[in-house]
Amino acid sequence: MFVARSIAADHKDLIHDVSYDFHGRRMATCSSDQSVKVWDKSENGEWQCTASWKTHSGSVWRVTWAHPEFGQVLASCSFDRTAAVWEEIVGESNDKQRGLSHWIKRTTLVDSRTSVTDVKFAPKHMGLMLATCSADGVVRIYEAPDVMNLSQWSLQHEISCKLSCSCISWNPSSSRAHPPMFAVGSDDGNVAYGGKVQVYEYNENTRKYSKAETLMTVTDAVHDIAFAPNLGRSFHVLAIATKDVRIFKLVPLRKESTATGPTKFEVQIVAQFDNHNSQVWRVSWNITSTLLASSGDDGCVRLWKANYMENWKCTGILKGDGSPLTGSSGQPTAMSMVVGSSVQNSQNILNGMSAGRIANRVLFAPPLRQLTSPKINQSISFHLWILPEGGPGMVTCCLLRPS
Amino acid sequence: MEEVDVEPTVTNIPGIGYGKHMGFAWGPGDILVYETQFKASGPSLSGPAGLFIHQVRKDEDIYSPILRKLFNESHHIFVGLQTIKEDLPSKSRRTQFVSISRNYRSVIRACMEELQQVAVSTRDTEMATQYGNQVSILLAIELIWNLCEVLYIDAAPAGSLLLHLLDWVRLHKADVDEKARDVLQSDSPAEHHNYWDVVVSYVLQGSLVEARQMLVKQANLQPASRDMYKLMDSLLGKMPFFNPGGTETVTEFDVKWSNWHKEVESYLKDNSFASNHHLELICKILVGDEDTLLEQKELLSTWYHFLVTRLLYCHPTVKPFELHYYAQSCLTMFLDSRSVQEPLDSILLAAFEYDICLVIKDCSIVLNNWWFVAHLTDLLDHCKLLHSHNLNFGSNMREFLLLEYASGLFTHHSLWQCAVDYFDHCPELGRACLELQIERVPLGTERKALKVLRICEERQMSEQVRSICKIMAMRALRNNRLGSALSWSIRAKDAAFATLISERFLQDYCAKGTFSDLDLIDNLGPAMLLSDRLTFLGKYREFHKLYGEKRFKEAAKLLLSLMTAKIAPQSFWMTLLTDALPLLEQTEVIFSADQTNELMYCLEELTSSLNTTAPGADRPMQQEDVEQTKVELLRLSLARNLAMAVVKEGTMET
């Protein structure tokens, strides 16, 4: 792994969240400087800031994208007790030429009386819905019934969790087999208050969310939670950032046909790591949930992966080394420049090579002039080999097998 | 045996303070990291913050055009392998598998050669090292693959096994030929400083024909020892090699070989070569003297070369299951106590031990190369080897590795299309993974969207098809491209959105008096039925066409039916009635008496509903007046038309 480029974010204060859009071509950043910035990736991979505006009157904790089916829509939440929904409007042509875009505020959600700590859009099959959670311990679920009119949001559900909420995660499972579900975490540090992660499930009959499970073993403050993409499994996987990293499996128990209450789960702990030494602040899955990343007090981002025995293992660490950035800000680093020119080089060499080489080739002739010997050098190989977000590959299979 | 244990790789991020909190975000093929402070309360950090976001990437190799060829070409081989029929006789299946394995290796070789050329020709030393390293890794991969091919895929029995191993060693010790060429091209080859190295190397490799050709040159120079050279030449020439295609059994061969071996031993014992230490050395090699072989470490260069040479001159009929014993002892003998066993050594040893699972596991750990383990495991799985070796998770391991590899390809802007085929051949989770990955392919252009769409449609991924169309429809609508938005939402079968866009079309018509995207609307066909409003849009446009073609009767009938069948929204009735005016004013009677009556009903229904719902408070007076005038005009026209129609119909009856 290497730093391909550094982007001059140019926020005036701490960055609290960075979020990719669904296709990975745009990102949004938010900061204590009360602003949100939107960045677009150009053809050559450079990030360009196309919008920057003041969004709140306090630190902006989180920013998140709606699914592109709903257009270009962002939600942000802030210390100023509000959450807001933003929509990009197609600007005038001269704006486009200058590479700028316009975002307008469609609504401010003012129901919370305390800092809104997290905001997340619901899975798209539920329509345009979003959930907020706040320090006063309330989860609120809003819906925009008309996706063409984002100025109208109605508060659909207000769920009191009793404990100060820090984070919320929708179960991304889009299959009809699972009713809508979310988990909410509390950063209340009082161990005596019991489980800090609650799972809520929507009940079609009562049209309400009701608590399906409290993870009783998680008694310390929880800072982040993340459901893993489902992959057609019958169970759910939930990662939790608390005083350590934990991965839980929620296996739905077979329902009695007469029962109307929420699904009951068998909660299994799959992994638990204290490598961060102290508090863990963020957890997040990659697209296919083969890797989990976590960030903690040790100043490291750690990458986790399971092997075939379902043993989870740290396979990569990113950490600040305190050295100054080389090269001027926003410019590609020396590394990527080098790579760029090399690509050119080899392409020239390749010109004029005939296609269909496999068929025409005489196997293994002429013998390779062997200047080098076969050698596996780990430190080198890391740069060279196809690494699907990997880290040292582990042969995992059991983990992903649907039970 | 224990699997190789590897510490997690640490990547230092410059520009982030040591021990400072780091935020991150997963992206396609990279991670963004930034310095932050997670404790929500409290003042901000002192010093600059929020200045930089760093993009951390891993898969640099997919950006190398040479390796990209490796991925592309192996993709074809992979797809070919998946289509090999199960019901072929096992012998012809094996032949096919061996040939596929060779195809894979030939792609690796081709790639290596290209990289080698680039490494040599580039002026940038850093790049040269990098390419050199890539070549080393490819060499290691090819070496392991080749050995697996010999041991598992070809699975040669005793006798042929050694021949294959010899080929394996020769192929990966190609520097002998290089050296030989240097020697032979020199003015006096026999006096070249590398001459004896080349001869001995040939003997160590079992390339005895070449060794003899070299020896002739020396013999010619030393007439005094001609007999000795002659003797050596005959010993080398007589050495029996097993002929797998022949009629000779392994036992017969063994007897023949033992006789030859005894003969060599006897010459060594009676000091036939004592006066020439070079020839004596060769003779000692021929009898398989361990100490002598170990003295040739420089020329052997690896323990596995030592192993094969030792087998050649001591146990040429080694059986597959005996290999691990020799391999282990050769490794121990070859590596002195100081040198460390490298990962490559462990992997080769595991291969000799027939521990396929460990080979794959270790490779995936130390190589960080999904390409290799995924393709090799897939091939071994097709050979049914993972089952016979009692790995009940065999097919899952195959699938897991293929999924990892394919997911990596997906982050690349053109290789993702190859990845689709890999997902297709993973029965368990392939589809779920493909669904997750494909919907995230950026839909930069309509063409790209259509490409992605086709892939989804071919696989009946209806949810992804719907979503892609919806995204495209939304994007078109945002950019005010109504036609495109409509056709995408028809493809998405999104009735609500189609209604919304139809509404826009009608509004546009009311405002401008003309329709845009006529081609699309004229050719809606059955798609028109997706939503009521779309049906109306289509029919209304049909009316305009009929009118334009002066097919007034048909136009009139259609117009009326739009209202009576409640296809037209009531809000649009006034427009429709106004459209009827010119028809009513024609000299010829177009609306029949019955039709005129129906029109009148429609008008009354409309005006009565307008009167009750809209008292006119929110409408400016002027517009009210216009509406009023319109209604009166209509009433007048309708009455006149009714009169004319009655007269006409009456006259026709009589």
For residue A216, the model assigns a pLDDT of 93
- Residue whose C-alpha is closest to residue B435's, from B465, B405, B412: B465
- Phi and psi at A81, nearest 5°, equal 75, 10
Residue B636: count other Cβ atoms within 10 Å of its Cβ.
11
Asked whether the CA dihedral B366, B369, B374, B375 is positive or negative, the reply is negative
B62 exposure class (CB count in 10 Å sphere: 0-12, 13-18, 19+):
buried
Q: Which of A376, A379, A380, A400 is the best substitution to test chain B (most B C-beta atoms within 10 A)?
A: A376
Lowest mean pLDDT among A119-123, A373-377, B119-123: A373-377
Other CB atoms within 10 A of residue B129 CB: 13
Lowest average pLDDT, out of A375-389, B22-36, B397-411, goes to A375-389
Lowest mean pLDDT among A354-368, B285-299, B391-405: A354-368
Give me the mean pLDDT over the A149-163 stretch: 94
Range B13-22 burial, b when 16+ CB lie within 10 A, else e: bbbbbeebbb
- In whole angstroms, what is the distance from residue A15 CA to residue A154 CA? 30
Identify the DSSP state of A222: -
Q: Check B137 against A375: CB less than 8 A apart.
A: yes
Label residue B337 by pLDDT band (50, 70, 90): low
Cα separation, A285 vs B24, in Å, equals: 11
pLDDT at res. B66: 84
In chain A, positions 162-221, which contact chain B (CB-CB < 8 Å)?
166, 174, 187
Which of B124, B366, B400 has its CB closest to that of A376?
A: B366
Is residue A157 classed as helix, strand or coil in its secondary structure? strand
Residue contact B27–A287, C-beta within 8 A = no
Per-residue pLDDT, A273: 92
Neighbouring-strand partners of residue B629: none
Q: Does A22 touch chain B (CB under 8 A)?
A: yes
pLDDT tier at A176, thresholds 50, 70, 90: low
Rounded Cα distance, A222 and A351, in Å: 56
Query: In B174-207, which residue ranges form alpha helices assigned H by DSSP?
Result: 175-185, 195-205
* pLDDT at residue B581 in the model: 86
Coil, strand or helix at A316: strand
Per CB-CB distance under 8 Å, the chain A contacts of B146 are none
Provide the sign of the torsion angle of the four alpha carbons B599, B605, B608, B614, taken in this order. Answer: negative
Q: Which has more pLDDT, A144 or B565?
A: A144
CA-to-CA distance for B452 and B468, rounded, in angstroms? 8
| Range in A194-198, B243-247, B318-322 the model is least confident about | B243-247
Compute CA distances B63 → B68, B511, B569, whole Å. 7, 52, 56
Q: How confident is the model at residue A344, as a pLDDT? A: 28
Cα separation, B437 vs B640, whole angstroms: 67
Task: Inspect the interface and report whether the beta carbons of A376 and B122 lie closer than 8 Å.
Answer: no
Using only C-alpha atoms, chain B has a radius of gyration, in whole angstroms, of 42
3-state secondary structure of A327: coil
What does residue A214 show for φ and ψ, rounded to 5 degrees?
-120, 130
CA atoms within 13 A on the CB side of B500: 17
According to the model, what pLDDT value does residue B620 have?
59
Mean of the pLDDT values across residues A329-344? 30
The residue of A27, A31, A368 whose CB has the most chain B CBs within 10 angstroms, and thus the best one to mutate to test that interface, is A368
Distances (CA, A) of A269 to A1, A231, A248, B470, B497: 30, 19, 4, 39, 44
What is the C-alpha to C-alpha distance for residues A87 and B162, in angstroms, rounded to an integer? Answer: 71
Mean pLDDT is lowest, of A261-265, B486-490, B589-593, B602-606, for A261-265
Please list every residue in chain A whose beta carbon sits closer than 8 Å to the beta carbon of residue B58: 1-2, 382, 387, 389-390
- How far apart are the C-alpha atoms of B419 and B234, rounded to whole Å? 57
Kindly report which listed range (A51-60, A62-71, B502-511) carries the lowest average pLDDT score. B502-511
Partners of A71 on chain B (C-beta within 8 Å) are 474-475, 478
A241, A225, A242: which is closest to A181 by C-alpha? A225
Contacts of B32 in chain A (CB under 8 A): 18, 20, 27
A residues 276..295 contacting B (CB < 8 A): 279, 281-282, 284-288, 290, 293, 295
B393 and A397 Cβ atoms separated by less than 8 Å: yes
Window A:320-359, CB contacts with B under 8 Å? 320-326, 329, 338-339, 341-343, 345-347, 349-350, 357-358
**Which residue in chain A has the smallest CA separation from B480?**
A90
CA A259 to chain B, closest CA, distance in angstroms equals 31
pLDDT at A369 over 80: no
Please check the confidence at residue A203 and state whether its pLDDT lies above 70. yes
Maximum distance among all alpha carbons in chain B?
142
User: How many angstroms separate the CA atoms of B550 and B565, rounded?
Assistant: 23
Percent of chain B with pLDDT over 90: 38
Put simply, the answer to whether B471 touches A69 (Cβ < 8 Å) is yes
Q: What's the alpha-carbon Rg for chain A, to the nearest Å? A: 24
Are B376 and B402 within 8 A, CB to CB? no
Q: What rounded mean pLDDT belongs to chain B?
A: 86
- The residue behind tokens 């997290």 is A118
What DSSP letter does each residue of A53-121 carry, written as one string? EE--SS-EEEEEEPPGGG-SEEEEEETTS-EEEEEEE---HHHHHTT--EEEEEEEE---SS-EEEEEE
Interchain contact A71–B (C-beta under 8 A): yes
Instruction: Give the C-alpha separation, A332 to A337, whole Å.
Output: 7
**How many residues does this entry show for chain A?**
403
Interface contact A315-B9, CB threshold 8 A: yes
Residue B302 token pair:
């690896």
The alpha carbon of residue B594 is apart from the nearest alpha carbon of chain A, in Å, by 42
Q: Is the peptide bond before B89 cis (omega within 30 degrees of 0)?
A: no
Question: At residue B653, does pLDDT exceed 70?
Answer: no
Contacting residues of A for B30, CB less than 8 Å apart: 4
Q: Is a pLDDT exceeding 90 seen at residue A53? A: yes
**A314 secondary structure, DSSP code:** E
Cα distance between residue A60 and residue A51, in whole Å? 16
Tens-place pLDDT, residues B551-598: 888 998 898 889 888 888 888 888 888 888 888 888 888 888 888 888
Predicted local confidence at residue B611, as pLDDT: 63
Q: Which residues of A touch B17 (CB under 8 A)?
A: 299, 320, 322
Q: How many CB atoms lie within 10 A of CB B507?
A: 10
User: For residue A53, what are the contacts with CB-CB under 8 A and spacing of at least 6?
Assistant: A35, A36, A103
The pLDDT-based confidence of A371 (bands split at 50, 70, 90) is very low
Residue A309's pLDDT is 59
B348-361 b/e (C-beta count within 10 Å ≥ 16 → b)? bbbbbbbbbbbbbb
Q: How far apart are the first and last CA of chain B?
A: 110
Cβ contacts of B439 on chain A, cutoff 8 Å: 22
Q: How far apart are CA A385 and CA B517, in angstroms?
A: 50
| Calpha distance A22→B507 (Å, rounded) | 33
In A, minimum Cα distance to B415 occurs at A386
- Say if the Cβ atoms of B344 and A4 lie within 8 Å: no
Contact A395 B177 (CB under 8 A): no
pLDDT confidence of residue A47: 92
Q: State whether B9 and A346 contact (CB < 8 Å).
A: no
